[in-house]
Amino acid sequence: MNFDWNYLFSLALYPDFWRATALVAWLGLLTWVIGTALGFLFALARQSSLRPLRWFAKTYIWLFRSLPLLVLLIFVYNLPQFMPSLGPVLSVPFWAGLIALVISETAYLAEIHRAGLISVDQGQHEAAHALGVRPVGKYRYIILPQAVRVALPALGNEFITIVKLTSLVSVISLAEILLVGQRLYTRNFMVIETLVAVSFYYVFVVSVFSFFLSRLESRLDITRMTGAEIRAPASALSSRTTNERCIGQEVIVELDNVRKNFGDKRALADVSLKVCKGEVVSIIGPSGSGKTTLIRTINALQDIDAGRITLDGVDWIRAGDKGYRVASDFHDRVTRLGMVFQSFNLFPHMTALENVMFGPRYHGNRDKEALRTAAMTHLARVGMATHANKYPHQLSGGQKQRIAIARALAMNPEIMLFDEPTSALDPELVGEVLQVIESLTRDGMTMIIVTHEMRFARRVSDRVIMMENGHIVNDMNADELKDAPADSRIRKFMLQS
């Protein structure tokens, strides 16, 4: 039996095939877009803290990943027999096919989105929290752009699957590519030649989409994003000294009998602490002593089991018999607390300048030029103005940490919280970060610093607090520390570290 090449080439101009190809492309694209949007919502629901919502999402995904698409197509198409009011829509093969495909594919796309969401480092959530970004804004500006970059290859692959699955819609008489081919070869019996043509049209749709998807992936690839050094204006490079060093009597942060347990381990044991305006307090102690837990409770990155925390004399966080509660205006007031993390937690899809501008812009400052000028000033303050257009992956650890400090300062906080700001840095990079923190000390900034840099702590601190096993075992000012016996626990620890 000879292969009829002339017949095959004639199908390249067959109008019904091109109409069917357009139909498949449109059906596939609509299914992918709607399913991607719904899948993202189901992925969020699966991670929700609300158990009924989480249960509903898990049940939906389990059910429709288990149910064959062919069964679902036939069910949806025949549903008007039991619900006649759906007849005008579901009796149309295109709409019945679209609805069945969306119901089925949403379950698969939800899991792809969930993989993308899980891939985003927890530090990104914490950085958004520290900047007072609400959940919708956090996902829109920070989490979703990063999750999509990870999920995009799998999302694109699922579109290809959808295009191939459209061939099943032929069972409800939708004139897609396979059905057109079937009608042809049942008349002329040229099965192989017709199926080769059918394959070509499917490959054509997939190839066009794959081309645009590859372009989008390249555009979103963070590693391809680069920025050059710039020459900062002289005004941005000028040094800033705002206040003379002065410790006031006003208590800006107070912890009252704060307690936190992790299972059987007590991280904080009825800790009480007052920090006055302009004061620099360093918290030291061995690993596992509760230092990081303590500082994270202040801006609610870590909940507490009991106790109370006040900010500027007003209730901020409270826990007890009625559970854990934060102030109703938390997202507005948390901006008074600047937070600098061990691992920097810069937003990788934003330049250094955009990282610094993000917080003020989110909170309502729409004057782009004023935002840029203020951000450049903060970058200059930490010696990073010339790197404003660079992305985090282009920077060293010390540079990233200095930008993280500038981002926190851009919110004009009353108090800065530093959680082991040099622990993730190479030894030669530690000094540049400590110099920036020391300059903030001279400017009169109120600071709480968790650190293992003992010489630095002695040099800049008004008080040094030592913790062990969740307790504050020493709380000394600079003079008391100097006069402490050489064999005291705090002096020994500072000499050994």
Domain positions in the chain are 5-220, 243-496
Task: From 416, 417, 406, 407, select the one nearest 296 (Cα to Cα).
Answer: 417
Kind and range of the H or E run holding 282:
strand 280-284
Segment 80-96 shows an average pLDDT of: 90
Q: What is the pLDDT of residues 337-358, one digit of tens each?
A: 999 999 999 999 999 999 999 9
CATH fold for the domain made of 5-220 = MetI-like fold (1.10.3720)
**Which residues are paired to 265 by β-bridges?**
262
CB of 77 within 8 A of CB of 172?
yes
Q: What is the pLDDT of residue 240?
A: 52
Q: Which residues touch 189 (CB under 8 Å, ≥6 apart)?
A: none
Do the bridges between strand 415-419 and strand 337-340 make them parallel or antiparallel, or are there none, so unpaired? parallel
In the structure encoding, which two tokens stand for residue 102, read together?
A: 């969306």
Residue 110 has pLDDT above 90, yes or no: yes
Q: What is the pLDDT of residues 319-331, one digit of tens each?
A: 988 889 999 898 8
Percentage, residues of the chain above pLDDT 70? 96
Segment 41-68 shows an average pLDDT of: 94
Between vectors from CA 343 to CA 342 and to CA 347, what angle results, nearest 5°?
Answer: 130
Task: From 400, 420, 416, 397, select the one nearest 408 (Cα to Cα).
Answer: 416
In the structure encoding, which two tokens stand for residue 265, read together?
A: 């381990």
C-alpha torsion sign, points 247, 252, 255, 256:
positive
Task: From 196, 162, 160, select the one nearest 178 (Cα to Cα).
Answer: 196
Q: What is the pLDDT of residues 390-449, one digit of tens each?
A: 999 999 999 999 999 999 999 999 999 999 988 878 877 888 888 889 888 888 899 999
Question: Pick the residue with more confidence: 55 or 227?
Answer: 55
Number of helices (H), then strands (E), in the chain? 21, 11
CA distance 54 to 63: 14
Q: What is the pLDDT of residues 226-248, one digit of tens each?
A: 887 887 665 555 445 555 567 77
Q: Which residues touch 64 (CB under 8 Å, ≥6 apart)?
A: 72, 103, 104, 106, 107
CA distance 172 to 175: 9
Residue 297 has pLDDT above 90, yes or no: yes
Question: Amino acid letter at 472?
Answer: I
Segment 177-203 shows an average pLDDT of: 91
Q: What is the pLDDT of residue 282?
A: 92
**Which residues are paired to 373 by β-bridges?**
none
Q: What is the pLDDT of residue 477?
A: 85
Residue 481 has pLDDT above 90, yes or no: no
Kind and range of the H or E run holding 372:
helix 368-381
CA distance 301 to 304: 10
Q: Is 316 helix (H, G, I), strand (E, B) or coil?
A: strand
Quote the mean pLDDT of the chain.
Answer: 90
Task: From 298, 310, 252, select the one nearest 276 (Cα to Cα).
Answer: 252
Q: How confident is the model at residue 1 (pLDDT cuts 50, 70, 90)?
A: low
In the structure encoding, which two tokens stand for residue 197, read together?
A: 């043509």
In the structure encoding, which two tokens stand for residue 220, read together?
A: 């979103």
Q: What is the pLDDT of residue 158?
A: 95
Q: What is the pLDDT of residue 233?
A: 65
Is the pTM higher than 0.85?
yes
Q: Is 462 helix (H, G, I), strand (E, B) or coil?
A: coil
CB of 268 within 8 A of CB of 296?
no
CA distance 452 to 466: 11
CA distance 210 to 338: 44
Distances (CA, A) of 34 to 29, 64, 110, 216, 334: 8, 16, 12, 19, 36
Task: From 73, 77, 104, 94, select the one nearest 24 (Cα to Cα).
Answer: 94
Place of tokens 């009597």: 249
Q: What is the pLDDT of residue 424?
A: 77
CA distance 105 to 107: 5
What are φ and ψ of residue 107, in 5° steps?
-65, -40
Residue 480 has pLDDT above 90, yes or no: no
CB of 441 within 8 A of CB of 280?
yes
Q: What is the pLDDT of residue 237?
A: 54
Kind and range of the H or E run holding 103:
helix 93-119
Q: At what angle do helices 15-46 and 191-220 cross, to 10 degrees?
A: 40
Q: At what angle do helices 397-409 and 352-362 cross, to 10 degrees?
A: 20
CATH of 243-496, one of 3.40.1410.10, 3.40.50.300, 3.20.20.70, 3.10.180.10: 3.40.50.300
**Of the candidate ranges 100-109, 452-461, 487-496, the one whose mean pLDDT is the lowest:** 487-496
Segment 152-176 shows an average pLDDT of: 92
Residue 485 has pLDDT above 80, yes or no: no
Segment 11-15 shows an average pLDDT of: 90
CB of 255 within 8 A of CB of 298?
yes
Give 66: exposed, middle or buried? Use CB within 10 Å, 0-12, 13-18, 19+.
Answer: exposed
